[in-house]
């Protein structure tokens, strides 16, 4: 059994795969290192190895690795920046500065698309990355995702206040809002969908019709209607993680 972790800015996505077939046997989302340890401790069979990607600080990542090694005697492999992996060339001027979650989504995206692709990830931040048919990463864009947009509005205004349950209900439609919660939640979704459409336009300009669109991240489904041709791949970062950190 292999434990795989995607340590984002807000959540840790985890899953356990069978070392031989790669079948997913367990998984979840947690909001702290402790919650992760608790979740892994309840598994019927302890994983032997672990690979992870983190966009957190070196210290936070090292402390999580140490905790896992201590509790479960796991060998932890941490994804590292690279200039090139599996025929994909990192497009940043300084390849070490490209967020590793983006890099792995790019690797996974190119592997699945087998050609030019636009990879978009909707988490705490929203990201778009472009890869040509011959594996050249052209770079990409970063902007606030749904959680950051809504919290900026809530934090910097006096009269925008609502709870999570009403936020969820507000997203049953994208019509003009008739309450604060609807106006804000739907407004932010329109921002993200506008982002998606402009990335699609950019990709059309580069490649005409010859490209694949991949969507991932916790909020991918909120933008799906803006990219009806897109393939939604919730575990895209894990696809890239296996490529960047092969175990034996």
Ligand X SMILES: Nc1ncnc2c1ncn2[C@@H]1O[C@H](COP(=O)(O)OP(=O)(O)OP(=O)(O)O)[C@@H](O)[C@H]1O
Residues contributing to the annotated binding site for substrate: 92, 99-102, 180
Q: Is 134 a catalytic residue?
A: no
> Strands 88-89 and 117-122, how do they pair?
unpaired
Strands (E), the chain: 2-7, 12-17, 24-30, 49-54, 75-78, 84-85, 88-89, 117-122, 125-131, 137-144, 212-216, 231-232
Cβ atoms of 110 and 88 within 8 Å: the answer is yes
Query: In the bound complex, what is the minimum distance in angstroms from residue 152's beta carbon to K ion?
Result: 19
Quick one: 47 or 123, whose CB is closer to ligand PAU? 123
Which of the residues 190 through 219 are near ligand X (CB under 6 A)? 217-219
Quick one: 99 or 240, whose CB is closer to ligand PAU? 99
123 binds K ion (CB under 5 A): yes
Contact residues for ligand PAU (CB under 6 A)? Answer: 8-9, 55, 97-99, 101-102, 123, 125, 127, 142
Quick one: 85 or 100, whose CB is closer to ligand X? 100
- Residue from 1, 9, 75, 115 touching ligand X (CB under 6 A): that is 9
Residue 53 CA to residue 107 CA, distance in Å, equals 13
Choose among ligand PAU, ligand X, K ion, none what residue 10 binds, the Cβ cut-off being 5 to 8 Å by kind: ligand X
Cβ atoms of 215 and 233 within 8 Å: the answer is yes
Total count of residues recorded for the chain: 248
Active-site entry in 94, 101, 163, 164 = 101
Residue 213 CA to residue 223 CA, distance in Å, equals 12
Query: In the bound complex, what is the minimum distance in angstroms from residue 149's beta carbon to ligand PAU?
Result: 14
Choose among ligand PAU, ligand X, K ion, none what residue 4 binds, the Cβ cut-off being 5 to 8 Å by kind: none
Quick one: 98 or 119, whose CB is closer to ligand PAU? 98
CA angle 30, 71, 35 (to 5 degrees): 15
- SS3 of residue 103 by DSSP: helix
Choose among K ion, ligand X, ligand PAU, none what residue 145 binds, the Cβ cut-off being 5 to 8 Å by kind: ligand X
Residue 222 CA to residue 95 CA, distance in Å, equals 30
- Residue from 123, 149, 181, 244 touching ligand X (CB under 6 A): that is 123
Residue 53 CA to residue 111 CA, distance in Å, equals 18
Please give the positions annotated as active site: 101
Residues that bind ligand X (CB under 6 A): 8-11, 29, 55, 101, 121, 123-125, 145-147, 217-219
Residues that bind K ion (CB under 5 A): 8, 101, 123
């Amino acid at each position: 059994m292999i434990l795989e972790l995607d340590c984002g800015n807000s959540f840790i996505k985890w899953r356990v795969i069978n070392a031989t077939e790669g079948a997913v046997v367990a998984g979840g989302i947690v909001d702290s290192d402790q919650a992760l340890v608790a979740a892994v401790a309840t598994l019927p069979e302890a994983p032997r190895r672990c690979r992870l990607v983190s966009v957190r600080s070196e210290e936070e990542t090292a402390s999580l690795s140490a905790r896992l090694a201590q509790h479960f005697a796991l060998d932890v492999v941490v994804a590292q920046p690279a200039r090139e992996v599996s025929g994909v060339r990192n497009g940043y001027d300084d390849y070490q500065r490209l967020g590793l979650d983006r890099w792995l989504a790019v690797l996974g995206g190119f592997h699945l698309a087998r050609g030019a692709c636009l990879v978009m990830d909707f988490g705490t931040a929203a990201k778009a990355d472009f890869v040509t048919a011959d594996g050249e990463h052209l770079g990409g864009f970063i902007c606030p995702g749904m959680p950051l947009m809504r919290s900026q509005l809530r934090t910097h205004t006096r009269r925008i206040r609502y709870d999570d349950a009403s936020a969820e209900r507000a997203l049953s439609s994208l019509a003009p809002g008739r309450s604060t919660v609807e106006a804000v939640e739907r407004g932010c979704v329109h921002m993200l969908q506008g982002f998606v459409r402009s990335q699609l336009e950019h990709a059309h300009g580069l490649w005409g019709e010859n490209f694949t669109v991949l969507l991932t991240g916790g909020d991918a489904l909120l933008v799906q209607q803006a990219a009806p041709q897109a393939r939604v791949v919730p575990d895209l970062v894990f696809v890239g993680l296996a490529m960047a950190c092969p175990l034996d």
